Amino acid sequence: MSIPHFGLQRLLTKLLLKLALWTVLLVGWSLPAFAQQGFVDNEILASRIANSIQQRIPPQYKALAISRIRPHDKQTRLNINELIDYTNVKIVRSRRFRVTDRSKLKLILKEQRIQLSEFVTPNEYKELGQILGVQVFVYGNVYPDSLMLKAIDVQTSSIVWADSFPLYDQRPNYILLNSLSGNFLESLSKDVEGLRAEKIRKVSFWSIGTPSDMDSEEVIDALTVVVSKNDLLQVVDRENLKLIFHEQKLNQSVFIDESQARRLGELYGVDAFVYGQITPRPDGRYVASLKMMSIFTGVIVWADLIKFSPPLDNTANLVNPFTKKIQQRLAPERSQGQVAIPGGVFLMGSGDPLYGNAAPERTLRLKPFLIDAQEVSNTEYLQFVEKKQHRRPVTWKGGSFGESQKDHPVVGIGWEDAKLYCQALGKRLPTEQEWERAARGPKGRRYPWEGDVFSANFAVTRESGAKQAASVFTRNRDVTPEGVRHLAGNVREYVADEYRPYSNSSSSSFERVIRGSSWAFSAMEAVGFHRGHTRPNLAWPEVGFRCAQDL
**Cα 278 to the center of its chain, rounded Å:** 24
Q: Single out the residue of 162, 157, 309 nearest to residue 226, CA to CA.
A: 162
Give dist(CA 242, CA 56) in Å, integer.
27
**Cα 140 to the center of its chain, rounded Å:** 17
Q: Provide the residue type at 296 as one letter.
A: F
Give dist(CA 173, CA 155) in Å, integer.
35
Q: Which domains does the chain have, with CATH numbers?
A: 39-167 (3.40.50.10610), 169-312 (3.40.50.10610), 319-550 (3.90.1580.10)
Distances (CA, A) of 57 to 65, 137, 197, 371, 527: 13, 11, 26, 34, 21
**pTM (predicted TM-score):** 0.52
Q: Each residue's pLDDT tens digit in the chain (551 positions)? A: 444 444 555 555 555 444 444 443 333 333 333 333 456 778 878 888 887 888 788 889 998 888 778 887 666 678 888 898 889 888 888 788 888 776 665 565 555 554 444 445 556 666 666 667 788 888 888 888 888 998 888 787 788 888 888 776 556 777 788 778 888 888 888 888 888 888 888 888 878 999 988 888 899 888 988 888 777 788 877 665 554 444 444 444 444 455 555 665 666 678 888 889 999 988 788 999 999 888 777 788 899 999 888 754 433 333 344 445 554 454 433 445 888 898 888 999 998 888 889 988 888 989 999 999 999 999 999 999 999 999 999 999 999 999 999 999 999 999 999 999 999 999 999 999 999 999 999 989 999 988 788 888 899 999 899 999 999 998 888 999 888 999 999 999 999 999 998 877 667 788 999 999 999 999 999 999 999 999 999 999 999 999 999 88
SS3 state at 366: strand
Q: Single out the residue of 317, 276, 111 nearest to residue 184, CA to CA.
A: 276
